[in-house]
Amino acid sequence: MKQILTYMKTVKFKAKEDDQEILISADEIAEIIPDADMRFTLVILKNDDKHFICGTEAEIRERLGLGG
Protein backbone atom coordinates (compact mmCIF):
# COMPACT_ATOMS: atom_id res chain seq x y z
CA MET A 1 0.00 0.00 0.00
CA LYS A 2 1.34 3.42 -0.96
CA GLN A 3 1.60 6.08 1.67
CA ILE A 4 0.44 9.48 0.48
CA LEU A 5 2.00 12.45 2.19
CA THR A 6 0.24 15.77 2.06
CA TYR A 7 2.02 18.97 2.91
CA MET A 8 0.26 22.09 4.02
CA LYS A 9 1.77 25.09 2.35
CA THR A 10 3.06 27.84 4.57
CA VAL A 11 1.85 31.30 3.60
CA LYS A 12 3.31 34.66 4.56
CA PHE A 13 0.84 37.20 5.96
CA LYS A 14 1.30 40.81 7.01
CA ALA A 15 0.46 41.64 10.63
CA LYS A 16 -2.00 44.48 11.31
CA GLU A 17 -0.05 46.25 14.05
CA ASP A 18 3.60 46.43 13.10
CA ASP A 19 3.88 45.31 9.45
CA GLN A 20 5.65 42.18 10.68
CA GLU A 21 5.37 39.15 8.40
CA ILE A 22 3.93 35.97 9.89
CA LEU A 23 4.22 32.48 8.41
CA ILE A 24 1.10 30.34 8.88
CA SER A 25 0.03 26.98 7.51
CA ALA A 26 -3.55 25.70 7.47
CA ASP A 27 -2.80 22.86 9.90
CA GLU A 28 -1.73 25.39 12.58
CA ILE A 29 -5.07 27.24 12.63
CA ALA A 30 -7.64 26.71 15.35
CA GLU A 31 -9.99 29.57 14.42
CA ILE A 32 -10.35 32.44 11.94
CA ILE A 33 -12.39 35.46 13.10
CA PRO A 34 -13.05 38.52 10.90
CA ASP A 35 -12.36 41.95 12.44
CA ALA A 36 -15.22 44.47 12.63
CA ASP A 37 -13.94 46.60 9.72
CA MET A 38 -13.45 43.47 7.54
CA ARG A 39 -9.97 44.50 6.34
CA PHE A 40 -8.24 42.43 9.00
CA THR A 41 -8.74 38.99 10.48
CA LEU A 42 -7.87 37.46 13.84
CA VAL A 43 -6.20 34.10 13.41
CA ILE A 44 -5.93 31.90 16.50
CA LEU A 45 -3.40 29.11 16.23
CA LYS A 46 -3.58 25.72 17.91
CA ASN A 47 -0.68 26.77 20.16
CA ASP A 48 -2.92 29.65 21.41
CA ASP A 49 -0.93 32.38 19.59
CA LYS A 50 -3.20 35.12 18.24
CA HIS A 51 -2.41 37.31 15.23
CA PHE A 52 -4.35 40.11 13.56
CA ILE A 53 -3.39 39.87 9.91
CA CYS A 54 -4.24 41.88 6.80
CA GLY A 55 -6.99 40.42 4.62
CA THR A 56 -10.54 39.19 4.84
CA GLU A 57 -11.45 35.75 6.12
CA ALA A 58 -12.23 34.62 2.57
CA GLU A 59 -8.86 35.88 1.25
CA ILE A 60 -6.97 34.11 4.03
CA ARG A 61 -8.87 30.84 3.54
CA GLU A 62 -8.20 31.00 -0.20
CA ARG A 63 -4.47 31.63 0.23
CA LEU A 64 -4.22 28.72 2.66
CA GLY A 65 -6.23 26.40 0.40
CA LEU A 66 -9.13 26.10 2.86
CA GLY A 67 -11.85 27.21 0.47
CA GLY A 68 -14.12 30.25 0.89
Per-residue pLDDT tens over the stretch 16-60? 888 799 999 999 999 999 988 788 999 999 999 999 999 999 999
Cα-based torsion angle of the residue sequence 47, 52, 55, 61 in order, rounded to the nearest 10 degrees:
20
CA distance 68 to 59: 8
CA–CA distances in Å: residue 6 to residues 3, 9, 17, 20, 27: 10, 9, 33, 28, 11
pTM for this model (two decimals): 0.80
